[in-house]
């Protein structure tokens, strides 16, 4: 899977992951007195690995393993690290592992902390992946999840560049969405993004909570993101918690 990188300004993309996401992860943990320094950390759905590089350099874990169903392109990461951060070598503590949709080739209890950024709305079977995370975490381990945007929220389609007015998933048919995206020329990026939109798992905040409970976690800290939105008449009957919650950051701990 590509990671929306087609026409996105690479400096903005790099900084959003290398600096902003890393800072938010570290601050969310630090708010609970948690430091990743010297700890064994994994990132589930690591994508291009930019967050993992930033997190390794900033938080100084003993090891950081990025897991993804799409193998991370380490040469590409190395060249972006040099271009945008002047980093000449990837740190030896950082590695990447190719996993399957529902399984990690990792021994039980291998990690003190697991993080996941912008991945859980893409994961086909969230309960199975959360069970795998529970398996590879230590009994007193902590899981950090960031998810944005939830499917039902204003830009839950991930198609804001074609639908700046928002809520396209509730206003338009699939045919209308595809037509708008292909009105000009059917670019590779439009094709990739439409496919990605169609494979979103449509998880809600409550659905994520349920999945965590089914996998043996309890939420220990919760930050819901909810900004003011204008509600199209087509959505008059949708519960506000579904259309109004755009994202989440949370810490979860094993319950058994
Ligand atoms: C939107 S990308 C986010 C990547 C990265 N965390 C970031 O913020 O740039 C979502 C990632 O989740 C990965 N993914 C989807 N299903 C997965 C699964 N079952 N297990 C691990 N990774 C998965 C995709 O391959 C993709 O790289």
When pLDDT is cut at 50, 70 and 90, the band that residue 9 belongs to is low
pTM > 0.75: yes or no: yes
Beta bridge partners of 177: none
- Per residue in 137-185, pLDDT (tens digit) is 999 999 999 999 999 999 999 999 999 999 999 999 999 999 999 886 6
Rounded to 5 degrees, what are φ and ψ at 116? -150, 125
Q: How far apart are CA 215 and CA 199, in angstroms?
A: 22
Ligand 1 touching residue 44 (CB < 6 A) = yes
C-alpha to C-alpha distances, 141 to 25, 39, 114, 221, 254, nearest whole angstrom: 16, 10, 8, 14, 7
Question: What is the CA(199)–ligand 1 centre distance, in A?
Answer: 12
Ligand 1 touching residue 122 (CB < 6 A) = yes
Ligand 1 touching residue 130 (CB < 6 A) = no
Rounded to 5 degrees, what are φ and ψ at 245? -90, 115
Ligand 1 touching residue 54 (CB < 6 A) = no
Instruction: Output the residue whose Cα is nearest ligand 1's atom 14.
Output: 45
pLDDT at 112 over 60: yes
Q: Is domain 10-150+201-254 given the CATH code 3.40.50.410 in the classification?
A: no
pLDDT at 256 over 90: no
Instruction: Output the residue whose Cα is nearest ligand 1's atom 19.
Output: 101
Cβ-contact 217, 134 below 8 angstroms: yes
Ligand 1 touching residue 1 (CB < 6 A) = yes
pLDDT at 121 over 80: yes
The structural domains of the chain, with segments of one domain joined by +, span: 10-150+201-254, 168-198
Which atom, in ligand 1's list, is nearest to the CA of 102? 19
What is residue 94's three-state secondary structure? strand
pLDDT at 3: 35
pLDDT at 183: 84
């Amino acid at each position: 899977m590509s990671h929306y990188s087609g026409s996105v300004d690479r400096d903005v993309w790099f900084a959003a992951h290398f600096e902003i996401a890393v800072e938010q992860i570290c601050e969310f943990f630090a708010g609970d007195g948690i430091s990743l320094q010297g700890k064994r950390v994994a990132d589930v759905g690591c994508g291009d690995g930019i967050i993992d590089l930033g997190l390794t350099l900033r938080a100084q874990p003993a090891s950081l393993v990025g897991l993804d169903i799409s193998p991370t392109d380490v040469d590409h990461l190395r060249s972006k690290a040099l271009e945008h951060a002047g980093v000449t070598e990837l740190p030896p503590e950082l590695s990447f592992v190719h996993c399957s949709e529902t399984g990690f080739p990792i021994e039980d209890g291998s990690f003190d902390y697991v993080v996941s950024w912008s991945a859980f709305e893409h994961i086909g079977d969230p309960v199975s992946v959360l069970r795998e995370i529970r398996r590879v975490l230590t009994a007193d381990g902590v899981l950090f999840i960031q998810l944005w945007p939830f499917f039902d929220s204003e830009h839950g389609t991930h198609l804001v560049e074609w639908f700046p007015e928002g809520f396209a998933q509730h206003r338009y048919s699939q045919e209308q969405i595809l037509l708008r995206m292909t009105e000009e020329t059917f670019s590779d990026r439009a094709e990739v993004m439409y496919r990605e939109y169609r494979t979103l798992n449509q998880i809600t905040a409550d659905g994520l909570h349920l999945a965590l409970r089914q996998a043996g976690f309890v939420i220990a800290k919760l930050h819901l993101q909810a900004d003011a939105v204008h509600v199209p008449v087509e959505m008059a009957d949708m519960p506000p918690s579904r259309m109004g919650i755009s994202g989440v950051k949370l810490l979860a701990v094993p319950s058994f």
